[in-house]
C-alpha cells in the first residue's frame, strides 16, 4: 500500500495529464441541466478548457452527441420540458458510447426527484453518479435518507447534520451503488468520497464557503463531464474532477471575502490552475 | 412616538435576532421564480443563511412545502410552464400554513402581468407583496400606473421618473393593498416603504448602483422569504428584509467599482453582515 | 479614403453620441433569449444604460413591443417553449417598426439550429444578424461550415481552428448575407467584422479571456439591441456595439485575474466607460 504522499503525487501527475488534455482538445460537454446553474456550469467548463453546450431540445440530441465528449444529465429542474429530453439523450449517448454523468439533484427530497434518476439508471449506462450524501443514500435505497431533505434542488449545503459524518455514513451506500451500476460514484461534501468497485478515495481541501454558493455541486458534476471526456476510467475521471474542484476552491478562498467573490475566483482558479497549484494543494487519501 | 434613533436601535436589535435565527436554522425557502434570477436569488438566500429550493414542478410542490419555511411566488417569467405551478403551490402553502411572498414583476407592463397576480391574490393568502412603485400601483388599481411600463420583467430601474417621488405616490396605494389582503406590502426604491394596517416605515440606504444590477428587486423578495420563515409578523419580516438589503447594498457599494462587482460584494455582505454593520448602517423612519 | 486615425476618431465620436443617447433615454430592449444568458445579458444591458425585459410569453409580446426600442431574438435555447414566441414576436416587431437583432446561436451545429433562423429570416425583417464565423457561414450556406460545430449553444470559443483566419473566411459570406437580407451582419471573433451593403469594418481589441466566459457573444447581441434602439442605421448600430464590447473587454481585462472576474469587470466597464476610455482604446479598420 503506497503512503499518502506518494499517492497524492501520483494522482497529481494524472490530474495534470487530464487537465492538459482538456485544455488541448477542448472537449464538448453537452449538458441537460437545471436553470439555476446553466450559466455557472457553462462558465466552469469554459474556465477549465472544455466546450459547453447547454440544451434540452430532444430533436438535436443525437446530432450534438456525435461530436460531444461527455453528456451531463442534471436533475435539478424536474419540470416536464426538461425531463422529456433526458431519456432520449441518454439513449443516444449510450449508442454513441459517450460517457454520461448523472447528478440526482434533490433525490430524497421529493418522490419525483427520487424515482426519476432511478428510472433513468434502470435503462441506461452511467459513467459517474455525483451527489451529496443524502442524494446518494436516497438513490441507494438507504432508509431515512429522505430526512435530510433540505440538501436539495439548488444547494449542496447540508442542514442540521454534521456533513462529514453523513458523508462517511453514505460511503458504503455509494460503493454499493457504484457496483450495482458498474460506474463511479462521488459523495460530495467537506470531504469528497469517490467509489468504484472495491476502491474508495477521499479528497480533502476546498473551502467552508463553498456550500454557501449555489450550484457548486452541479459544477463538480460538470467538471466530472470534462474529465470523463478525456479519461476512459470512471474512477479516475471522478477523482480528478474532485481534486480540480477542491484545489480551485482552496485557491479561490485565498482571495474571496465571501461566497459572492468565491464563485468568481473559482472560475479564475480553474482557468489558471497549474502544476504547482495542483502539487501543493492536492490532498487525497485512499 | 419614539425618536428616530431609538426606532432604528430597536429595529436593529430585531433584525439581528431574525438574522441569527436564519443563520442558525437555515430555513428552506421554496421559490417559483423567473429564469433571470434563479441563480442570483439562490445565492442571496444561501449567503444570508437560508436553504433555497428553486422549482416549478407541480408534482412535488406539496412535498417540498412540507419542510419549507416560506414560499416565494415571483411572476418574472409568465410563460405557461412557470405559471402552471403557482396556484397549486400557493394552495398547498395555504394549507400547510407556510407564508407566501409575492413579487408581481412587471405588473402594469402587460395585461398578463397585471391580471395574473391579481387572480392569485383573489384566492390565496399573501404574507408579503413586494414590488416597485409602478408594480404596486398597478396591483392596487391606480390609474396611470401602466405608464411606467419599463419598470418591468427583469429590472427595478425606474425610467424617466423621479423614483422617490413615485414611491411616495405609491405609498397610499400600498397601504390600501396591504389592508385589502391583510398582509405587508413593500414598495422598493431609493427609499423602501413598508406598509401593513395603519403602519408605514421607510428604510433608507443602499446604493444608487443597485437598480443597475438585474434582479435585486427579486433578491429583496427572496430575502423577504428568508425573514418570513423566522418571523410570524409580516410587517416585521418585510421591514427586516429591507434593512438587510439596504445595509448589504451599502456595504457592497463601499467596495464595488460598478454594477458587476456590486452584485458579488452584495452576496459577500449578506454573508458577513454582523451586529456592528447593522447597527451602524441601519436607517429606518416611521 | 480616410486614414485609420481619422476613421477611429470619427467612429469614437459616433459611439459616444449613441452611448449618451442610451444612457439618457434608457431604451427598453425586449429579449427572447436562452436560459444560459438571461441574467448576464440583462446585466450588460442595465450596465450600459438600457432597460432589459426578458420574456418568451407570446401573449404579451405585442404589448411589450409597443414601448420597446429593440427586440433581440437569440436562438441559444431551441426548446419548443422558447421557439414558440419568436415568430409572433418578430411579426409584431415588424408591424411596430421595432428593429430586430438575430443571434443564430449554434447554427451549423444541428439541423434545428440551422433551419430555425433561416425560416425566421425568410418571413421577417432583420436589422442586425450577429454570430461567430461558423454560425454566419452556416446561415449563408457555406459548405463545410458545420464542421466547426463546437462553436455552439453557449459559447463563442472556436475550437481547433485559428479564429482570425476563420473570421476572414466568413467575411465574404457575411457580406452576402447582409445584402440578401438588407441588414448588417457581425462576425464576432478576435477581430469583429461588421458588414452591410458593400461596406466592411473591422473592430480590434477586447481580450483573449473573452471566449472563456459563457455568453459574451450573446452579450454582444444584446448590446447591438441597445444601439439599435438609438441609431436607425444598422451598420452604425452594429459597429458601435462591437466597439463598446471591445473597449469594455479591454478595460475589464486590465483588472481581471481570469474569466470569472473578467465577466464582472466587463459590466463595471460598460457602466463607467467614458469619452477618454473610448477615444484611447477604439481600434477600427475600414
Strand C184-188, strand C128-132: pairing: parallel
Task: Tell me if chain C has a CB within 8 Å of the CB of B232.
Answer: no
Q: Provide the angle, in degrees to the nearest 10, between the axes of the packed helices A216-228 and A4-25.
A: 80
Task: Indicate the pTM of the whole model.
Answer: 0.94
Whether residue A149 is predicted with pLDDT greater than 60 in this model: the reply is: no
Range of lowest pLDDT (B94-103, B172-181, C4-13, C185-194): C4-13
Is residue A250 a contact partner of residue A206, using CB atoms and an 8 Å limit?
A: yes
Residue B187: count of CB within 10 angstroms of its CB: 31
Whether residue A133 is predicted with pLDDT greater than 50 in this model: the reply is: yes
Q: What is the sign, positive or negative, of the torsion defined by CA atoms of A180, A183, A187, A192?
A: positive
Range of lowest pLDDT (A108-122, A153-167, B204-218): A153-167
- Report the candidate in A253, A193, A225, A210 with the shortest Cα–Cα distance to residue A98: A225
**C63–B78 C-beta distance less than 8 A:** no
- The grid cell for C106 is 449554434
Which pLDDT value is given to residue C162? 60
Which pLDDT value is given to residue C5? 76
Residue-wise pLDDT for C134-147, tens only, equals: 999 999 987 544 43
Topology classification of domain B4-285: 3.40.1190
- The grid cell for C274 is 467614458
Query: pLDDT class for A233, splitting at 50, 70, 90?
Result: very high
Residues 54-93 on A with a CB inside 8 Å of C are: 54-57, 59-60, 63-64, 67, 81
Give the rounded percent of residues in chain C with a pLDDT score beyond 70: 91
Query: pLDDT class for A155, splitting at 50, 70, 90?
Result: very low
Residue A4: count of CB within 10 angstroms of its CB: 12
**B57–A77 C-beta distance less than 8 A:** yes
Which pLDDT value is given to residue B5? 76
Whether residue A12 is predicted with pLDDT greater than 70 in this model: the reply is: yes
Residues 191-210 on C with a CB inside 8 Å of A are: 209
DSSP3 helix / strand / coil % (chain A, rounded to 5): 55, 15, 30
Strand A128-132, strand A184-188: pairing: parallel
Spacing of C-alpha B123 from chain mean position: 21
Which pLDDT value is given to residue C160? 40
Residue-wise pLDDT for A201-232, tens only, equals: 999 999 999 999 999 999 999 999 999 999 99
Question: Which uninterrupted H or E stretch holds C128?
Answer: strand C128-132
**B27 Cα to chain A: minimum distance (Å):** 9
Q: What is the sign, positive or negative, of the torsion defined by CA atoms of A123, A125, A166, B268?
A: negative
**C26–B152 C-beta distance less than 8 A:** no
Mean pLDDT of A103-112: 95
Length of chain A in terms of residues written? 286
**B122 Cα to chain A: minimum distance (Å):** 26
Q: Which chain B residue is nearest to residue C62, measuring alpha carbons?
A: B110
Q: Which residues contact B226 (CB under 8 A, 6 or more apart)?
A: B22, B27, B29, B45, B48, B49, B50, B70, B241
Which pLDDT value is given to residue A256? 97
Q: What would the DSSP string read from start to end of chain B?
A: ---HHHHHHHHHHHHHHHHHHHHHH--EEEEE--TTTHHHHHHHHHHHT-EEEE---GGGHHHHHTT-SEEEEE-S---HHHHHHHHHHHHHHHHHT--EEEE-TTBTTBHHHHHHHHHHHHHS--SEEEEEHHHHHHHHT-TTGGGGTTS-TT-----SS-HHHHHHHHHHHHHHHHHHHTSEEEEESSSEEEEETTEEEEE----TTGGGSTTHHHHHHHHHHHHHTT-S-HHHHHHHHHHHHHHHHHHHHHH-SSHHHHHHHHHHHHHH--HHHHHHH--EE-
Which pLDDT value is given to residue B2? 58
Whether residue A6 is predicted with pLDDT greater than 90 in this model: the reply is: no
Bigger pLDDT: C224 vs C155 = C224
pLDDT beneath 70: ranges in chain B: 1-4, 143-163
- Alpha-carbon distance of B149 to C28, in angstroms, equals 10
CATH number for the domain whose boundaries are C4-273: 3.40.1190.20
State the distance between the two ends of chain B, measured CA to CA, in whole angstroms. 9
Which pLDDT value is given to residue C150? 36
**C150–A47 C-beta distance less than 8 A:** no
Which pLDDT value is given to residue B143? 57
Give the rounded percent of residues in chain C with a pLDDT score beyond 90: 85
Amino acid at each position: 500500500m503506497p503512503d499518502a504522499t506518494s499517492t497524492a503525487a501520483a494522482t497529481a501527475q494524472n490530474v495534470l495529464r487530464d487537465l492538459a488534455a482538456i485544455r488541448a482538445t477542448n472537449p464538448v460537454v453537452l449538458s441537460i441541466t437545471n436553470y439555476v446553474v446553466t450559466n455557472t456550469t457553462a462558465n466552469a467548463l469554459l474556465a477549465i478548457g472544455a466546450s459547453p453546450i447547454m440544451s434540452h431540445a430532444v430533436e438535436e440530441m443525437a446530432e450534438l452527441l456525435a461530436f460531444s465528449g461527455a453528456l451531463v444529465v442534471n436533475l435539478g429542474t424536474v419540470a416536464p420540458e426538461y425531463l422529456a429530453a433526458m431519456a432520449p439523450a441518454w439513449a443516444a449517448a449510450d449508442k454513441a458510447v459517450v460517457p454520461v454523468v448523472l447528478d440526482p439533484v434533490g433525490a430524497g427530497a421529493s418522490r419525483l426527484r427520487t424515482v426519476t434518476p432511478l428510472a433513468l439508471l434502470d435503462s441506461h449506462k452511467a459513467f459517474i453518479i455525483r451527489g451529496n450524501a443524502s442524494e446518494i443514500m436516497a438513490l441507494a435505497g438507504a432508509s431515512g435518507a429522505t430526512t435530510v431533505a433540505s440538501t436539495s434542488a439548488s444547494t449542496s449545503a447540508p442542514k442540521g447534520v454534521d456533513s462529514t459524518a453523513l458523508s462517511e455514513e453514505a460511503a458504503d451506500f455509494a460503493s454499493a451503488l457504484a457496483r450495482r451500476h458498474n460506474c463511479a460514484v462521488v459523495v460530495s461534501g467537506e470531504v469528497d468520497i469517490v467509489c468504484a468497485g472495491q476502491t474508495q478515495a477521499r479528497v480533502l481541501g476546498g473551502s467552508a464557503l463553498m456550500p454557501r454558493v449555489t450550484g457548486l455541486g452541479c459544477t463538480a458534476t460538470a467538471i466530472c463531464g470534462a474529465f470523463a471526456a478525456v479519461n476512459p476510467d470512471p474512477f479516475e475521471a471522478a477523482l480528478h474532477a474532485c481534486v480540480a474542484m477542491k484545489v480551485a476552491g482552496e485557491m479561490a478562498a485565498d482571495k474571496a471575502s465571501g461566497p459572492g467573490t468565491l464563485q468568481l475566483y473559482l472560475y479564475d482558479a480553474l482557468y489558471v490552475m497549474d502544476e504547482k497549484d495542483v502539487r501543493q494543494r492536492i490532498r487525497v487519501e485512499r
